[in-house]
Amino acid sequence: MAAPSLMPFFSLALVFAAIPGSLSLPFIVLHGLGGQCSHQGPKNFTQLLINYSGVEGYCLEVGNGVWDSWFMPLEKQAGLICDKVTEMEELKKGYNIVGLSQGNLVGRGVIELCDGGPPVKNFVSLGGPHAGIASVPLCGTAILCHLVDKLIKSDIYSDYVQDHLAPSGYLKLPNAIPKYLEKCKFLPKLNNERPQARNSTYKERFSSLQNLVLIMFEQDAILVPKETSWFGQYPDGAFNSTIPPQQTKLYIEDWIGLKTLDEAGRVKYIRVDGEHIKISNSDMRKYVIPYLQG
């Protein structure tokens, strides 16, 4: 008489199915430049998302944190996270990504370049430099900043700087586009910008997202221009205006599937009040939490 003994399991399963959070996928948080999962900022942010959503979440560290976020090339950073997500039992059925600033390019690197990783469903991007930035963020006064300054003052598109300064991988100077396309090692690849080197796998993977939430901060003084959070950018050769995402070649020619996603109604362009990645709790509940719940 095996049947009756199965009943408790069956009803237990029904109970769990009735709790909204229990069917949600876990999420990961990827911090920004100069960040570290053990620091108050990313730690609180992750915990707050967990508290509000009732879903499992993990801040995934890239290498040793602060130092590697500055000096490890982004493709390598993405590779480390690719290894982690592939190994994590908790993510096997899929997961969501919440990116902070530079962490968004690590996240997109995982979505597009990671072979054999679990599927990413929703990608919530807070202040991501998706179409590049036209100046490197100020470093501050820490010891490591002397090194950063030295690197910035030398040829930003040289192999040496490209291999040793993470933000140089998405520095897109409107007055040096040919050099950027030729020498910049990360963003042109991630955005399928080089005509001879477009990889349809990147597009296929990126356009399979269920939701792409692009959050721009109105008072963002770190991202130049701030519209890069929406894939907006300066026109080639000029710093005085920006072109909206829908008028960029990346969108029109659909290099990575942004247009495909947009036409399917899966891109949310969100504008919030605040400085770079300083999201209020109410905006977090409105624009982030819903995408973490089932």
Q: For binding to ligand NAG (CB under 6 A), which residues are involved?
A: 40-41, 44, 47-48, 51, 113, 115, 199, 201, 238, 240-241
CB of 195 to ligand NAG, least distance (A): 14
Measured from the CB atom, the residue of 41 and 290 that comes closer to ligand NAG is 41
Residues counted in the chain: 294
Residue of 69, 101, 125, 168 with catalytic role: 101
CB of 114 to ligand NAG, least distance (A): 8
Cα distances from 177 to residues 8, 95, 153, 256, in angstroms, run 65, 35, 18, 19
Classify residue 257 as left (phi > 0), alpha (psi -120 to 50) or beta: left
Q: What are phi and psi of 256, to 5 degrees?
A: -120, 5
Residue the block writes with tokens 């948080």: 29
SS (H, E, C) 191-224: CCCCHHHCCHHHHHHHCCCCEEEEEEECCCCCCC
Beta bridge partner(s), residue 122: 211
Measured from the CB atom, the residue of 11 and 51 that comes closer to ligand NAG is 51
CB of 268 to ligand NAG, least distance (A): 25
Contact 13, 22 (CB under 8 A): no
Measured from the CB atom, the residue of 113 and 171 that comes closer to ligand NAG is 113
CB of 35 to ligand NAG, least distance (A): 12
Measured from the CB atom, the residue of 47 and 219 that comes closer to ligand NAG is 47
Measured from the CB atom, the residue of 33 and 111 that comes closer to ligand NAG is 111
Catalytic residue status for 101: yes
Catalytic residue status for 208: no
The residue among 77, 80, 111 whose CA lies nearest residue 95 is: 111
The rounded distance, in Å, linking the Cα atoms of 73 and 113 is 14
Catalytic residue status for 220: yes
The rounded distance, in Å, linking the Cα atoms of 75 and 79 is 6
Measured from the CB atom, the residue of 48 and 134 that comes closer to ligand NAG is 48
CB of 120 to ligand NAG, least distance (A): 14
CB of 190 to ligand NAG, least distance (A): 11
The residue among 253, 285, 220, 276 whose CA lies nearest residue 52 is: 285
Burial of 12 (0-12, 13-18, 19+ CB in 10 A): exposed
Grouping H, G, I as helix, E, B as strand and the rest as coil, residue 77 is helix
Catalytic residue set? 101, 220, 276
